Amino acid sequence: MITRLPLAALLLATAAPALAQRAAPSAPAPVDPQVAALRDAALGDTVAYDIVEGMTTEVGQRLAGTEAEARARRWSEAKLKALGFSNVRIETYRMPVWVRGEERAEILAPFPQKLNLVALGNSGATPAKGIDAEVVIFPTYGDLAAAPAGSLKGRIAYVGNAMMRTQDGSSYGQEGVARFAGPALAARKGAAAIVIRSIGTDTHRLPHTGTTNFPDGTAAIPAAALSVPDAKLLEAMARRGQPIRMKLVLTPRQVGEQESGNVIAEVPGTDPNAGVVLVGGHLDSWDLATGAIDDASGVAITAAAAKRILDSGKRPRRTIRVVWFGAEEVGGFGGRDYAAKHGAERHALAAESDFGADRVWRFETTLPETAGAVGDRLATALSPLGIVRGTGRAGDGSDIAPVIALGVAGVDLNQSGLDYFDTHHTPDDTLDRVDPEKLRQNVAAWTTMLAVVADAPEEIGPVVRPAR
């Protein structure tokens, strides 16, 4: 006779060996009481908001290479000295500078409408009176890429995209190609100009700027971003099946090489052989607004966290170097200059805050095997802030990328990007977009990271990265 077990009992019996073999989860790494105390106290921080409020109010927009960015450097140097940092200085370099001019567009036919748009950084210029040309609609960058060579001669290309809200911001990289590479591709296909749907997740009529690049040998054509509603309007017109004509006026210009620079400050460590922990964000902003989330918040968060270590009464083992990089928005000039001047110095780790001021939800590391326990301690210490451990490789940020490329370890403290691209690179990037409570959670996360990493007894040496 065959005994038939109930289904639930059978499933339990077959699962038992697997359950018996499953290892019990390892105990979490203990949290140093001093680290926990610094973390919890940072939830009451006021320094970061004071920096953001001061920078956006007293300086305002900070376009790279302009007099406004120079004022920002002077303001920042004075602020960091007043906060008590050591070795505060400005390191300058030269870079090409682009400035915007007149920007307007309208549909002439078949349905006259005025449009809201802004020039993209490095855009070429139309004649002073503008151009009047037929618009060719490409729903995606891929559609533009498939267009035959020379097919856009004398025409204005329009490229759409469908950027989605994602917590990690991954849609920006996917859809941003329309801005990063679309203008150069349209130029090679003979276009007289290009307009794109703004790389953003909003529904307001404030277009998103951002830089584009024309490789050597490709002449810059006029390039602009339409607000999302205006882009949708243009697409709706195209569905009517009638030819569309646009008048476009863009008069930006290149003004030659000008001065930019990085502002540097330090919390000196006790062991000169232990390496530098590099943290920061970028000082410059686009010229449409005061750059509160991009990236006054980033420089404020990292500086406020470093000040908490400075004021703790205990010097860290490693020197914490705070860098407010110049000229990130227009090509990462500050990061490259820093690496050229300081790349030979020993850096233990690098981390950057350049994704707004929303809550940190995840952290990731790229640490050598000798420092694996550092990541474990971070996981435990950051958990009370609602931060989970990710599995990706750290080292995000264009400013720290040149140093990371030298083999320096990285830590990423990932902020939520669900709302970031509503205001990114628009006139709406203003102080009212910064939530003080969320900003304090960021400071607590960065304070925790610095307290763990800067004092870690483990060797944090070079990281071997897989070949790309």
pTM over 0.85: yes
Report yes or no on 184 lying in a domain: yes
Q: Which of 214, 230, 251 is the last residue of a domain?
A: 251
Q: How confident is the model at residue 462 (pLDDT cuts 50, 70, 90)?
A: confident
Based on the fold, state whether residues 352 and 394 are members of the same structural domain. yes
Q: Which of 224, 251, 278 is the last residue of a domain?
A: 251
What digits encode the pLDDT tens for the residues 347-389? 999 999 999 999 999 999 999 999 999 999 999 999 999 999 9
Based on the fold, state whether residues 247 and 268 are members of the same structural domain. no
Mean pLDDT of 449-454: 98
Based on the fold, state whether residues 270 and 241 are members of the same structural domain. no
Based on the fold, state whether residues 233 and 338 are members of the same structural domain. no
Mean pLDDT of 326-332: 97
What digits encode the pLDDT tens for the residues 401-436? 999 999 999 999 999 999 999 999 999 999 999 999
CA–chain centroid gap for 122, Å, is 19
Cα dist from 47 to 53, 268, 306, 434, 454, whole Å: 10, 20, 11, 14, 21
3-class DSSP assignment, residue 153: strand
Based on the fold, state whether residues 87 and 125 are members of the same structural domain. no
Q: Which residue type sits at 113? A: Q
| 141 token code pair | 């960058």
Based on the fold, state whether residues 324 and 384 are members of the same structural domain. yes
Mean pLDDT of 86-108: 98
pLDDT higher than threshold 70 for residue 105: yes
Based on the fold, state whether residues 87 and 236 are members of the same structural domain. no
Based on the fold, state whether residues 210 and 76 are members of the same structural domain. no
Half-sphere exposure of residue 376: CA atoms within 13 angstroms, side-chain side:
12
> What mean pLDDT is reported for the chain?
93
**What is the C-alpha separation between 419 and 119, in angstroms, rounded?**
23
What digits encode the pLDDT tens for the residues 25-72? 567 778 899 999 999 999 999 999 999 999 999 999 999 999 999 999
Report yes or no on 11 lying in a domain: no
Report yes or no on 383 lying in a domain: yes
Report yes or no on 137 lying in a domain: yes
Q: Can you give the pLDDT at residue 13?
A: 40
Q: Which residue type sits at 120? A: L
Q: How confident is the model at residue 192 (pLDDT cuts 50, 70, 90)?
A: very high
Q: Can you give the pLDDT at residue 27?
A: 72
Task: Count CB atoms within 10 A of the CB of residue 112.
Answer: 10
Report yes or no on 340 lying in a domain: yes
Give the rounded percent of residues in the chain with a pLDDT score beyond 70: 93
Based on the fold, state whether residues 86 and 129 are members of the same structural domain. no
Look up the domain containing 267 and give its range. 33-96+257-453
Report yes or no on 357 lying in a domain: yes
Contact (Cβ atoms closer than 8 angstroms) between residue 219 and residue 187: yes
**What is the C-alpha separation between 334 and 366, in angstroms, rounded?**
23
Half-sphere exposure of residue 351: CA atoms within 13 angstroms, side-chain side:
27
Kindly report the CA angle at 53 between 50 and 54, in degrees rounded to 5? 80
Nearest in space to 98 (alpha carbons), one of 54, 52, 64, 57: 64
Task: Count CB atoms within 10 A of the CB of residue 243.
Answer: 10
| 131 token code pair | 């151009």
Report yes or no on 463 lying in a domain: no
Q: Can you give the pLDDT at residue 20?
A: 40
pLDDT higher than threshold 90 for residue 170: yes
Based on the fold, state whether residues 275 and 363 are members of the same structural domain. yes
Nearest in space to 278 (alpha carbons), one of 367, 411, 371: 411
pLDDT higher than threshold 70 for residue 4: no
Based on the fold, state whether residues 302 and 428 are members of the same structural domain. yes
Kindly report the CA angle at 402 between 184 and 456, in degrees rounded to 5? 145
Q: Can you give the pLDDT at residue 466?
A: 56
Based on the fold, state whether residues 199 and 327 are members of the same structural domain. no
